[in-house]
Amino acid sequence: MLKSPVIGVSMKTLLTILVLASVAFGQRSLRTGEDLGGAKAIKAVIKVGAVDLKLKGTDNPEKAFQLYYSYTNDEKVPKLMYEVDGDNGLFKLSNDRQHTNFPFLGFGKDKDSVDLELANSVPVSLEMAFGVCDAAVDLGGMEISDASFSTGVCSFDLNFSTPNKIECDHIVVKTGISSVTVENLANAHAKTVEFNGGLGSMKIDFGGKLVSDCDVRIKTGLGSVDIAIPSDINTTITTPESFLTSVDVAGFYSQGGGVYRSSEKKGPKLSIFIDSAMGGVKIKSY
């Protein structure tokens, strides 16, 4: 069944919305949620700028999403849509604020506040774009089939606190001027992972359990990359050979030519290739 959106919101969602207005602070809030509606997989597209955002899986297996959204700019109210067409659900959330190209215009402006919970009982294909933001995304315990993230000027924390329930085809993280922290990446169960950074820092921890081979590509412009890898993971690392990039590797033996390996181990292979134009790369085993 296809549910027609009304002013960016499906009819059923519109009927469940609770809008709270704070006169003293000129703040508006909406709280809403919707059941899966027969969807066996969901595509979630979230494009927001100037936000404080938290995302995790919902505790209710019947829900497609649950959302609490607070904003102050009536000219840029959030737009929400959830539709189901056959077995496929489509969730969209945006706030019409700057989230691509030059997000610097967002500095000094009030940020929207977003607390979002997405389905944890069906596969979710996730696409997210942030502008000037602080974002904390924990995909632990969900069914993530693939995920992509694009940030402008952002502090971005990504975590797989518990294992992904299904195999993830790919994860892509593209950053502008950002501080990125990734935790428990082995729990993502991803075939491929790509990081493409402009200016800033990346801290990537491969904690969790690696259950299949994973190929990781990390490319940065100017900034630092810190990588932590459990000692029991069968790992091969290829690092940049450039006088503009300092490389510090601990706990792996060098094969020469910028290639490092863990001691001989069985099990799935983690292959990491790093291309850093300028900055520092630190890699440690723990």
Mean pLDDT of the chain: 86
How many structural domains is the chain composed of? 1
Which region among 25-39, 100-114, 147-161, 233-247 has the lowest average model confidence (pLDDT)?
Answer: 100-114
Closest CA to 148 of 131, 132, 168: 168
Q: Is the pLDDT of residue 101 over 70?
A: no
The answer to whether 228 touches 252, Cβ cutoff 8 Å, is no
Predicted structure pTM score: 0.86
Domain membership of residue 116 (yes or no) is yes
224 in a structural domain = no
Answer whether residue 140 is part of any domain. yes
In the predicted structure, residue 75 carries a pLDDT above the cut 90: no
Nearest-angstrom CA–CA distance, 59 and 117: 8
Q: Residue 73 — pLDDT band, cuts 50, 70, 90?
A: low
Q: What is the C-alpha separation between 52 and 229, in angstroms, rounded?
A: 29
Question: Structural domain of residue 46, as residue ranges?
Answer: 5-212
Query: Is there a domain that residue 139 lies in?
Result: yes
255 within some domain = no
pLDDT at 76: 66
